[in-house]
Structure 1
């Protein structure tokens, strides 16, 4: 699983569809008038056996990619009844051609999975998305290649071929981690491989790519094809950004703040369950998505579960300096036309305990 889906779908396909649909009612699939309950009459006293069951509020959550261990907390919250406890009937959907950001901004989905880099660019194009939780506290992505390419330092990228998806941010990120160790990014051959599979591409025409270790790295180990992984955060602090994040729209926040709070209350419990119970959480994801490789899911979940919360005071917490540092770096490279209002791009206000 590379970073390309979270980046390309959110950036290339985002604007045209979003701006046409932003006038829709936030969470277009929702049927009830209140977030934690419904438009039905209040429930009778607990002792009244004839009380009608609570009508649940139906919402969609759009993933950024095919289901994987970044998403386990969502599936755990659904399977374990945490959403139902909050009065929600949650449907987890894949993004389709439009992408999750477009679905959320247009109101087709109330919530979505995205990444800080995509949301940063979207905000500066007046796309009304807001990050409401960091799924993982630190960036687990980086540049990786098979062991036989001998990538022990970013300087070793020189003379090698990198396979990417055509974004200027790729070369910028490569330069950011090569410069401190005396590397020269101009000596890297960069080609566009689009959505090509990493394992096929490194056997065919590239030496390294940008991947998430929790999925591609773990799969490489299981295949007996171990890789050298150079994490972005280890070489450039400004690249230790939040990826993935959970998003909603400004409209959803303004019109149904209690729904946002209810969604995050349940989702937090789902990710906390995955932190404490990686094996059981993996089983939940496998049950929900039986096409996934069970061995990969279990190994990935074991590696990733401690990283959901990591050193944060609570799951989902985001820091303004993380948002600002990344945006300032992009602005300095002229990848952004103007500075980002970091405080408007994210909020911790709906996390439990806020």
Structure 2
């Protein structure tokens, strides 16, 4: 569409020039054309450059961002948004340092970071309820956390991950010492369960849907089903205290457009999937479409509006972490998240 508009403008300018060569002066028309062109250039210059960094490679957790960019919602708010993948330090570090104004993170990460002085603030819950859990191929016979005994778990060494695994095993009558821990590194889940492990922690919306497509049945143990405190927000949209203090209008504008992007994805999962595929053509198109269909109704779920966060969710999970000595001190929950920059619900 942009190319078409510029082509039309070029034709108009050529006609003006040709007309200007005739015996009848057209100075007023030339002046108007110049002013219009100047106005368009000025409008382009006034767009504010904004960077949002993903937590991982692009997937359906991020669809609303790509929709907002593709549909022009960010431009309507005066923003030129660039969506980038994280550097070696991760998304949190890029946002905290000011390298990006916004990023994708997780409640556990922000909770731990804030108790250590990292000034990140969650401004929206991308998915209303935790869709992650421990998954195993059905033939491994893992139907409850007690069945983790004697099995090989593939993880990445996070203290939160180990605490969650240990708690679920012990609270369901199992012996955590009988679970063998294997660091998966960058291994793909499907490769790892064939080669090294029996189960791993996944997001069902992506890896679980891929398992369905591969016709590889899973037993999925969602962590939220075993403890209310584990129904925390993951992933979330974050910014820094500095951005909020210095440019609150930027945060409001970004969230207005982003909210529209996710609302579009909620209402139009197929079209939203096509937008993500167009933006990231290397993705498996069938996986994206199936994942989007599963995830779209779960973005907002039972919340009054997309992105809404509850204090009790932040409090319950931070208390859970503190009780297990995974936080240096209790979290000041009121400073960790805000709903102030979400557009008003309908």
TM range (shorter): 0.7 to 0.9
Unaligned runs of 5+ in 1: 1-47
Q: Secondary structure at the match of 2:216?
A: coil
Q: Secondary structure at the match of 2:82?
A: strand
> Is the 8 Å Cα contact of residues 152 and 182 (structure 2) preserved in structure 1?
yes
> Is the 8 Å Cα contact of residues 110 and 120 (structure 2) preserved in structure 1?
yes
1:182-261 alignment, distance < 5 Å: 182-261=173-252
Q: 1:272 aligns with which of 242, 256, 263?
A: 263
Normalised to the residue count of structure 2, the TM-score between the two structures is 0.87
1:61-100 alignment, distance < 5 Å: 61-100=52-91
Q: 1:52 aligns with which of 18, 25, 39?
A: 39
Q: Secondary structure at the match of 1:307?
A: helix
Bigger-Rg structure (1/2): 2
Q: Secondary structure at the match of 2:39?
A: coil
Q: Secondary structure at the match of 1:120?
A: helix
Q: Tell me the CA shift for residue 51 of structure 1.
A: 7.1
Report the aligned-residue RMSD.
1.3
Q: Secondary structure at the match of 1:229?
A: strand
2: CA distance, partners of 1:234 / 1:189: 23
Which range moved further: 220-229 or 132-141? 220-229
Normalised to the residue count of structure 1, the TM-score between the two structures is 0.85
Q: 1:346 aligns with which of 325, 331, 337?
A: 337
2: CA distance, partners of 1:142 / 1:158: 17
Which 4+ runs in 1 deviate beyond 3 A? Answer: 48-51
Q: Secondary structure at the match of 2:233?
A: coil
1:163-174 alignment, distance < 5 Å: 163-174=154-165
Q: Secondary structure at the match of 1:52?
A: helix
Unaligned runs of 5+ in 2: 1-34
> Is the 8 Å Cα contact of residues 176 and 236 (structure 1) preserved in structure 2?
no
Q: Secondary structure at the match of 1:246?
A: strand
2: CA distance, partners of 1:235 / 1:189: 21
The CA deviation string for residues 223-250 of structure 1, in whole angstroms up to 9 with x for no partner, is 1112111000001111111000000010
1: CA distance, partners of 2:38 / 2:76: 17
Q: 2:111 aligns with which of 111, 120, 139?
A: 120
Bigger proportion of residues as helix: 2
Aligned length: 307
1:286 corresponds in structure 2 to 277
Q: Tell me the CA shift for residue 177 of structure 1.
A: 2.3
2:148 corresponds in structure 1 to 157
Which range moved further: 160-169 or 297-306? 160-169
Q: 1:145 aligns with which of 136, 147, 157?
A: 136
2:3 corresponds in structure 1 to none
